[in-house]
Amino acid sequence: MSSFKKTFSLLFIVSFMFFIAACSNSEQGTSKKSNSSSGDEDAPITLTLFGSDANADWEKMESPVGQKIKEDTGVTLKPEFDIDGGQQKIALMAASGEYPDMILPKGEAGTLVDAGALIDLTELIEEHAPNLKKMIGDNMNRLKWSKDDSSIYIIPNAAVDNQAMYPGYGALVQHAVVKELGYPELKTLEDLENVLREYSKKHPEIDGQPTIPLTLQSDGWRFQASTLNSGFMMTGAGDDGEYYIDPDTYEATLHYRRPIEKEVFRWYNHMNAEGLLDRESFVQKDDQFLSKLSTGRALATIAPDYMVGQAQNALRDEGKLDRMYGMYPITLSEEYQSHVYQSPGFQAGWGIGISVDCEDPVRAIKFIDYLVSEETQIMLNWGLEGEHYEIVDGKRVIPEDVWEYRNNNKNFAKETGIGYNFAGLAPRYGDGVLDSTGQTYTVATREQQIKNQTDVEKEVLKAYGVELWKDLYPQMDEFDEKPWGAAYNIPIPGGSDLEVKNQRMLDVTFKRIPEAILANPDDFDTIWETFMKDLEKAGVEEAEEEFTKIIQDTVELWSN
């Protein structure tokens, strides 16, 4: 994911808001209302919320879990979820000076901080959030905004100490493909090409529709998180958004300027020339992309796991188990390792903030603190005892019918409230973390993951000599933890020169990468050279210098 997904047309608004904010706020980060509670801690209260991501599973707090949260806290959430990533609406909020009580701004927190829209949460956490303090532990320094501003404006909403049971990124290939071809080796882009060519030649149609060997996601920010990120994901680097960070010097380089990444995009160009790439890849919207996967027409894609979950569920619901996808750690060549499991450590930067317009920030911080308590964390993962799980010999056990409900009903999250609906509003314990009883907070144990697999999935994994898809990947202990965290989470001042340059470079990238991939192979090098020159004109060298300083300052801040 990238930290600078903004439209250039908004930069005037963002700049203008500084003047408005300066006139309307005498002190940045000070609530316009009250920094104390209104009185009765359990009295009903409505808190407004803005989320930068769409949420089709929002259940209006009418699910069993949602009702329990209202009962425990007295809080009713009135949310607005954006379908376009939040950039435009947050810029307009900042320009108007009017805000909801709580905001999940993703990479736009800098815009809000510069507008004086968010309050400093340091004292509120210290006085009213014991569960947050426990979860954050020694990482409180990572919540500080910058080297020059020690305020805490954002509480992260990432998983803490996560040991993910499912890889977050890779080449997704249908089970039917590898089964028919005798479980071929799938380690490199050449391997993937050979498999897709052979199978599509044997099966030019699937269910009466033309077979698509490889389709790509290109809808807005998803283009970055899938196709563009493959440049570094397949050449031995971890996910730091648009920049590659040198692990020794902490110097930032726009990752497309790494010479080796050119060869990844040359491969896409080659696939297009061979007729193996979906020609609609760079014009299709998210629903069209998902439709091709959900119907089983597309043999493969390259993307993060969360982008294909809906398609996987649809295929499972329809009984097309052979057409579901496995996740493979494909790289440019065998000299590179997938860094999917390299740990960024405690992730700060993206999360939830409380605005200066919140009338009762104490109730807001206590609500967030409630979400991270041990009891609530268990509920958000397991559900309600007696309804979604049982206690057997002192251990939480999910009955078979509930597992069936979880795995095969796409409305499970909406109907129960279990999962990201509420867990995404605060930090949460990750996979593998144990509660006070020695049980995992999440249901994603190794044993449960195996149990949840379809018979086809088990067959494929067994053929490759593993039990889980993560077993195909280099493991976390093979890498050093990144001392800068995840670079895409590090805030960049709204309206800054760096933000402007980042957007210019992104605009260039969105234009030149598709052009290079769809070009005649003889023209690829010329277009790539133009791409590099356009980045230089957009200020890439100055941007790299500026972001390098931000990275180095972050490492220094977090090391104190």
**278 domain-assigned:** yes
Q: What is the pLDDT of residues 230-269, one digit of tens each?
A: 999 999 999 999 999 999 999 999 999 999 999 999 999 9
pLDDT of residue 349: 84
Q: What is the pLDDT of residues 533-552, one digit of tens each?
A: 999 999 999 999 999 999 99
Residues 153 and 198 in one domain: no
Number of domains in the chain: 2
Residues 268 and 390 in one domain: no
Secondary structure (3-state) at 469: helix
Burial class for 127, CB neighbours closer than 10 Å (0-12, 13-18, 19+): exposed
**361 domain-assigned:** yes
Q: How confident is the model at residue 125 (pLDDT cuts 50, 70, 90)?
A: very high
Q: What is the mean pLDDT of residues 440-466?
A: 94
How far apart, in whole angstroms, are the C-alpha atoms of residue 464 and residue 122? 50
| CB-CB neighbours of 23 under 10 Å | 9
Lowest mean pLDDT: which of 158-162, 204-208, 414-418? 158-162
Residues 111 and 205 in one domain: no
Residues 299 and 177 in one domain: yes
What is the biggest distance separating any 2 CA atoms in the chain, rounded to whole angstroms? 72
Residues 183 and 154 in one domain: no
pLDDT of residue 185: 97
Lowest mean pLDDT: which of 32-36, 267-271, 363-367? 32-36
Judge whether residue 360 has pLDDT over 60: yes
pLDDT of residue 42: 77
Residues 187 and 323 in one domain: yes
Residues 404 and 323 in one domain: no
Residues 19 and 113 in one domain: yes
**478 domain-assigned:** no
Residues 509 and 550 in one domain: yes
Residues 74 and 211 in one domain: no
> What 8-state DSSP symbol labels residue 106?
G
Q: What is the mean pLDDT of residues 112-124?
A: 96
Lowest mean pLDDT: which of 95-109, 374-388, 397-411, 461-475? 397-411
Range of 310's domain? 169-340+458-470+483-559
Q: How confident is the model at residue 221 (pLDDT cuts 50, 70, 90)?
A: confident
pLDDT of residue 22: 42
Higher pLDDT, 81 or 16: 81
Q: Are 219 and 301 in contact (CB under 8 A)?
A: no
Q: What is the mean pLDDT of residues 158-175?
A: 94
How far apart, in whole angstroms, are the C-alpha atoms of residue 309 and residue 290? 9
pLDDT of residue 493: 78
Angle at CA of residue 230, ends 225 and 232, nearest 5°: 105
**451 domain-assigned:** no
pLDDT of residue 11: 44
Q: What is the mean pLDDT of residues 446-469?
A: 95
**42 domain-assigned:** yes
Non-local CB neighbours of 224 within 8 Å, separated by 6+ positions = 1, 2, 5, 241, 242, 506
**475 domain-assigned:** no
Retrieve residue 542's tokens.
Answer: 């100055």
**259 domain-assigned:** yes
Residues 252 and 362 in one domain: no
Lowest mean pLDDT: which of 44-48, 95-99, 162-166, 252-256? 162-166
Retrieve residue 63's tokens.
Answer: 């699910």
pLDDT of residue 92: 94
pLDDT of residue 39: 56
Q: How confident is the model at residue 83 (pLDDT cuts 50, 70, 90)?
A: confident
Retrieve residue 123's tokens.
Answer: 């004292």
Q: Are 87 and 49 in contact (CB under 8 A)?
A: no
pLDDT of residue 329: 98
Lowest mean pLDDT: which of 40-44, 105-109, 217-221, 552-556? 40-44
Residues 152 and 215 in one domain: no
**220 domain-assigned:** yes
Mean pLDDT of the chain: 91
Which domain CATH number covers 229? Answer: 3.40.190.10
Retrieve residue 157's tokens.
Answer: 């909403």
